[in-house]
Amino acid sequence: MAAPEIKPKTADNEKITINLGFVDLGHIDLLVEENFYANRSDFIRTAIRNQLERHADVVRQSVTRRQLDLGLRHFTRADLEAVQARGERLHIQVLGLATIAPDVTPELARATIVSVHILGALQASPDVKAALRDVMR
């Protein structure tokens, strides 16, 4: 009996770095010490979610107007080969995470993808990212 293939887990978040003034950071630390938040990251995530909720209507309208795919969009080699067989080309527009399978070649990506606009993150091999660099905005 063969051992099951172990696939690497895709990260479901992206690490970012922000700069804060000392006074703002002190306020956050005070709220953490007072047990309003578990840690600085908890406070920052909550603050971001509150702002996103505050602007939810504008975001929804913009997503609709721009015709963005919302959430996770995965492109497999078979997906791109089917697009190529139909003689079509893709305009990838995602708000969230777009992934291109590791077995997609740079040549296949170039042949099938006209443009890439990601608001969030793109996960693809370095070679595919390099091949698409001039069509990304």
What pLDDT does 66 receive?
Answer: 87
CA within 13 Å, CB half, 51: 6
- Are residue 71 and residue 104 in the same domain, yes or no? yes
- Asked whether residue 12 is domain-assigned, the answer is no
Domain containing residue 69: 59-135
41 and 84 fall within a common domain: no
Separation between Cα atoms, residue 20 and residue 25, nearest integer Å: 6
- Evaluated on CA atoms 113, 115, 119, 120, the torsion sign reads positive
Do 32 and 82 belong to one domain? no
Residue 14 pLDDT grade (very low, low, confident, very high; cuts 50, 70, 90): confident
- Asked if 91 and 116 sit in the same domain, the reply is yes
pLDDT digits (tens, 9 = 90+) for 47-103: 999 999 999 999 999 989 888 998 999 999 999 999 999 999 999 999 999 999 999
Say if residue 64 is in the same domain as residue 125.
yes
Within this chain, do residues 91 and 127 fall inside the same structural domain, yes or no?
A: yes
> Any residues with CB less than 8 A from the CB of 58 and at least 6 apart, and which?
none
Residues 128 and 88 in one domain: yes
- Residue 89 included in any domain: yes
78 and 115, same domain (yes or no):
yes
- Looking at the domain assignment, is residue 68 inside a domain? yes
Q: What's the mean pLDDT when you consider all of the chain?
A: 92
Res 13: pLDDT:
79
pTM of structure:
0.71
Query: How sure is the predictor about 40, in pLDDT bands with cuts at 50, 70 and 90?
Result: very high
Buried-exposed string 4-13: b where 16+ CB fall within 10 A, e elsewhere: eeeeeeeeee
**Based on the structure, what is the number of domains in the chain?**
2
Please tell me the predicted confidence (pLDDT) of residue 11.
62
Q: Is residue 75 exposed (0-12), middle (13-18) or buried (19+ Cβ within 10 Å)?
A: buried
